[in-house]
Amino acid sequence: MVQGLLILIVQVGYKGEKKMKDTRNSLFRPAFLTLLGVLITVPLMSCGFSVCLVGSCQFPVGEDAPLKELTSSDQNVVFEEPGTIIVYRGFGCAESNNSGKQDFLRVEQSLNLPAYATNATVFLNGWRARYLSKDHHVQGLGTVIGNIRLERNTLKWQAAGVLSDNNFDDAYRWCYHYTVVAWNPSNLNLTVDHKDGSCGDSGDPTQANFFSAYNDGATTALSSFPSFLQNPNFASDKTVAILPRGFGFDWEAGCNDHHLLQIGYNLDHSEIFIENGKKYKKNDQEVIPSLPNTASQVDSGFVSWETYGILKDNKGRRYYAFGEMVSGLAGNEVGIIQPPFSILPIEDNGNPSDSGGGAEAQEFVVENVPFEYAIPMLTGWELSYISNDEHVTETGIWIDEWGYDKNARTLRYKLSSILRDKDDDPGHISRHKVTILGIRPLAVVPDLVPFSPSGNSEAAFCRIEQAGTRLRVSVKNQGADADVSKTTVTFANGPVTLNTPAIPVGGSVDLLFNVPPGCSVLNCSFRVSVDSSNQINESNEINNSVSGACM
């Protein structure tokens, strides 16, 4: 069974490949699937995953990949709206430093959430890998987060990573950066699909949240893979965000490691759409989705996208395997900003700019973000040496600090990248794309309401001052920017109306009304109405009036 599966993978992998190598019968397994095997421990062990992994590449078998201690880690709250949502960022690092063959690195991490946050997920926001001595060729590299589960109020997950040349004998250090989003389901109606799916031929391939495939048919180092998620709970949600959870690259079978010139990943934009008859990558297979008729479908529980990869040395194209793991986050309060981005293979060397080989950090700012909560997701990146292909000492790209100011609607993040050999020469170039995961879109129309700092009771609106001559009324705008309006207070002897200036989003203004004779702090009843001449089209027109009473 397992052997048959492997042969199938090899056959599928080499279909269309004219230049078959004499290694084609070896039990090659893409590094990414190996990573998945490392991650998805229990179910895969039972399908004999360890056998699958015996290959000429000498990658270790899943069972041989013990959980490693973290060599360093960090965990911080980025923002919290108590009772509703909390978001964390963090990283974990581990090392393989054996005298002979190295290990895949696999770590377990967890996070204790506040009591209200009874649903949560974690996704990948960068990676970094380094040979501990000298520089070497690359056979494969990758990072993946899996085995996500919530145990009471503790979110637990595992992450695995690798950087290797063909004989996997060079000690290395690997780090991954993650973001955790945790929420109160009674305040935020979000649906997450962060299962892994089982590897290989056990189980329904459409239920795997990963794929692994070869760059068949590509004539350059650029490859393209369509995939989808299907979850009945996604139906009727306007938006499903695809959260990146991992990638893997692995040069061709036969363990021919190479220099590196360029490596790139682009999880392109997604839509709640599925195309009838199209072949999608799911698990290690090609799947044609099963639809009710011959039509393509929108909003029927599917979300689809294409992911692009580049793995390149100076040669125009080599054979490689690529894999990806994702989650889906859906809900009518989910929104995504997906900046246009593409990666293209370098076909002509000699870029004039020299940015040095070391880790470079740069801050990026995005303004006018139309969400109450916004989270950056590193969904595209590209790293290349400036001149020619080289050995590698260290490579990676990651978001290590970020924040969102919801009042200024401004997202800031610091992005770092590295690609260097042992003498840091030549330098590297990096490009990236951050998709903004938005939760709770901001209002598009105003909503004016009467407001008192003392609360909502009738007495709270009794704000008489200046020796009983004035009543203070606050008009608050809890929607989008509002133009000028009028506010009326109706006392026992009649209404008093004041012009009210424009109020920006989230702002408020105070108005002072003349208090009529007979009205005092001890005895006065009145009614406050905002937008009393109905000049403003509001998201809520029935919250415009309150009663006030002084007793």
CA dist 263 and 222 (Å) reads: 10
Backbone torsions φ then ψ of 130, nearest 5 degrees: -150, 130
Structure tokens at 211: 């794929």
Least distance from Ca ion to the Cβ atom of residue 69, Å: 24
Environment class of 408 (CB within 10 Å of its CB; exposed 0-12, middle 13-18, buried 19+): exposed
Q: Which residues contact 58 (CB under 8 A, 6 or more apart)?
A: 101, 166, 167, 168, 255
Specify the amino acid at residue 159: A
CA dist 150 and 113 (Å) reads: 10
CB-wise, 16 or 504, nearer to Ca ion?
A: 504
CB-wise, 344 or 460, nearer to Ca ion?
A: 460
Using the CB atoms, write b or e for 29-61: b if 16+ within 10 Å: bbbbbbbbbbbbbeebeebbbbebbebebebbb
Least distance from Ca ion to the Cβ atom of residue 417, Å: 17
Residue among 459, 454, 451 nearest 500 (CA): 451
Specify the amino acid at residue 369: V
Structure tokens at 196: 């892994």
* Residue at shortest CB range from Ca ion: 531
CB-wise, 410 or 545, nearer to Ca ion?
A: 545
CB-wise, 400 or 421, nearer to Ca ion?
A: 421
Least distance from Ca ion to the Cβ atom of residue 475, Å: 10
CA dist 7 and 26 (Å) reads: 9
CB-wise, 25 or 534, nearer to Ca ion?
A: 534
CB-wise, 3 or 133, nearer to Ca ion?
A: 133
CB-wise, 215 or 262, nearer to Ca ion?
A: 262
In the complex, the residues that contact Ca ion under the rule CB under 5 A are 165, 167, 169-170, 421, 423, 425, 447-448, 531, 534, 536, 538, 540-541, 543-544
Least distance from Ca ion to the Cβ atom of residue 503, Å: 12
Least distance from Ca ion to the Cβ atom of residue 28, Å: 18
CB-wise, 245 or 420, nearer to Ca ion?
A: 420
Q: Helix or strand or coil: residue 238?
A: coil
Reported as half-sphere exposure (CB side, CA atoms, 13 A), residue 246 has a value of: 31
Least distance from Ca ion to the Cβ atom of residue 345, Å: 22
Q: Helix or strand or coil: residue 302?
A: strand
Least distance from Ca ion to the Cβ atom of residue 407, Å: 20
Question: What is residue 50's DSSP assignment?
Answer: H
The DSSP string of 522-542 is TBEEEEEESSTT--S--S-ST
Q: Which long-range contacts (CB under 8 A, 24 or more apart) does 73-76 make?
A: 73/109, 75/111
CB-wise, 404 or 451, nearer to Ca ion?
A: 451
Least distance from Ca ion to the Cβ atom of residue 59, Å: 13
CB-wise, 230 or 395, nearer to Ca ion?
A: 395
Least distance from Ca ion to the Cβ atom of residue 230, Å: 41
Least distance from Ca ion to the Cβ atom of residue 543, Å: 5
Least distance from Ca ion to the Cβ atom of residue 316, Å: 23
CB-wise, 169 or 401, nearer to Ca ion?
A: 169
CA dist 358 and 296 (Å) reads: 47
For residue 506, the Cα-to-chain-centroid distance in whole angstroms is 28
User: Cα angle at 417 between 133 and 174, to 5 degrees?
Assistant: 45
Structure tokens at 16: 């269309």
CA dist 306 and 270 (Å) reads: 8
- What is the number of residues in the chain? 551
CA dist 453 and 465 (Å) reads: 15
Helix (H) / strand (E) element for 36: namely: helix 31-39
Least distance from Ca ion to the Cβ atom of residue 125, Å: 29
CB-wise, 191 or 387, nearer to Ca ion?
A: 387
Backbone torsions φ then ψ of 204, nearest 5 degrees: -80, 120
